[in-house]
Structure formats: C-alpha cells, structure tokens
C-alpha cells in the first residue's frame, strides 16, 4: 500500500498556471541493508551471512559493470543503465573527455515490476509532511 498526502504548489507553466494541489508520496521510511538481509533470510533457506555475501557480490558486480558501460538487466526488476552527462560543443573536434560532466545510472523498471506498481493501492495519510518532498 502506497501512502500519499496533498500539498499546495505554485505551477508556472501550462495552460492554467497558478496555485494547485497535488498528491505526493508519503514515504514509510528507509529499509536498511541489515533489515533487507533479515527479511530475505527469513523468507528463504539462506543464512543471513549467505544473503549478506550475495548482496555484496551483487552490489560490486552492478558497480563494476556500470563502470565499464554495461547495462545490467535483472529479470524480476529491470535494468541499471549507465549514461553520460556532457556539454554540447559546436564541432566534433571540440568533443573530448573534458566535456563529460559526470556519469549517471538510470534504473528502468521492467514490465513485470511496472505491472506490480500499477496494481498497488493508495491510501491518504494526514498530516502533510514538512519541508521539501
């Protein structure tokens, strides 16, 4: 179940700019790696140390692959794809490694994951969160 709350925002673009109200996610906290390990161990026949080793190996392989320009596709979740943010130049001769600002990684959920997200329910939560969302 996803929780949401309602916030007021000033919208300055579009056909009807002005003060508007919209639903925003009301997060339920952060699951630590330790909590994740405990849950996986409880739901499987693996010991917590085995789960920890597998998660560490998965993390290292995702980092190594993305650092080498390789997309990682996890069948039950989606893909981690590295891409570059770079400055646009006027000619091909001006483009070199110094024009690259940073490397980023996109996570794109696959159809199965998107379908699960679409089928989840929503529930209003009050009060509205304080600060930026």
Domain membership of residue 62 (yes or no) is yes
C-alpha 88 chain-centroid distance = 27
CB neighbourhood size of 79 (10 A): 14
Domain membership of residue 125 (yes or no) is no
Domain membership of residue 132 (yes or no) is no
Domain membership of residue 119 (yes or no) is no
Number of domains in the chain: 1
Domain membership of residue 71 (yes or no) is yes
List the CATH number of the domain containing 28: 4.10.520.10
pLDDT, tens digit only, all 133 positions of the chain: 999 989 899 999 989 999 999 999 988 899 999 999 999 999 999 999 999 999 999 999 999 999 999 999 999 999 999 999 999 999 999 999 999 999 999 999 999 999 999 999 999 998 655 666 6
Domain membership of residue 84 (yes or no) is yes
Domain that holds residue 100: 2-108
């Amino acid at each position: 179940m996803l929780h949401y709350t309602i916030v007021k925002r000033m919208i300055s673009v579009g056909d009807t700019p002005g003060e508007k109200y919209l639903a925003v996610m009301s997060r339920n906290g952060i699951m630590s790696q330790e909590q994740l390990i405990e849950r996986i161990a409880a739901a499987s026949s693996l010991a917590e140390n085995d789960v920890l080793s597998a998660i560490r190996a998965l993390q290292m392989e995702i980092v190594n692959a993305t650092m080498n320009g390789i997309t990682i596709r996890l069948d039950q979740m989606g893909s981690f794809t590295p891409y570059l943010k770079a400055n646009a130049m006027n000619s091909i001769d001006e483009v070199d490694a110094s024009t690259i600002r940073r490397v980023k990684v996109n996570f794109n959920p696959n159809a199965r994951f998107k379908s699960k997200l679409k089928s989840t329910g929503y529930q209003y939560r009050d009060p509205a969160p304080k600060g930026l969302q």
